[in-house]
A and B are shown apart, each in its own frame.
Chain A
């Protein structure tokens, strides 16, 4: 049983560009949450998707948007990248309250 998978593993972009990160949840999980983890910090909640809708959102600007597909996979899009967007982006899938994290996508903005 595959766990949560994310792609790509690493990404380098320049300021102003746009990026799309992808996540496939653990089998049987219908809820996907995205987190941003800056160096030396804990993961910060970006948003959560369930039934293809954004259900909750953390304190992130509209430059951060997402999508969930009928197969429960999800994308995180970030527009107009800033240097401060450099971080590890984690996807977590859940059923009930236990969340399982993917390995993350490390985004570097130059």
Chain B
């Protein structure tokens, strides 16, 4: 079983739609969680961290359920510019012992 699992998609949604991605992780020792965005043929960039209490950044809302070991990302009012691959990332350890593990990514295509 992969340490971080995501539905690879693609998710094809019209502009203005709300879309949600889920991600599960297998290691209960995972400490921190993130969503990264990766545009085609570009490097991943941090979109947002995910906190147990849930957090929101504009149209993006991230939630963490430690008991069920899943993370979600909700995008409201989708824009064409949201088209990208969204990578779920978990962190174990700290400092030089820290290690990021990436999911395979979920591809989102927003259309007119």
Residues 4-34 of chain A, each 1 if its beta carbon lies under 8 Å from chain B, else 0: 0000000000000000000000000001010
Query: Contacts A101-B44, A103-B43: A42 and B102 contacting too (C-beta < 8 A)?
Result: yes
Interface secondary structure of A, over-half rule? strand
Please count how many residues in chain A sit with their CB below 8 Å of the partner chain's CB atoms. Answer: 24
Q: How far is the CB of B7 from chain A (nearest CB, A)?
A: 13
Q: How far is the CB of A26 from chain B (nearest CB, A)?
A: 12
Point out residues on A near B: beta carbons under 8 Å: 31, 33, 35, 40-45, 48, 50, 55-56, 58, 90, 97-104, 106
Point out residues on B near A: beta carbons under 8 Å: 4, 8, 32, 41-46, 87, 91, 94, 96-105
Closest 10 CB pairs of A and B: A42-B102, A101-B43, A55-B96, A50-B96, A42-B104, A43-B102, A42-B103, A103-B43, A42-B105, A101-B44
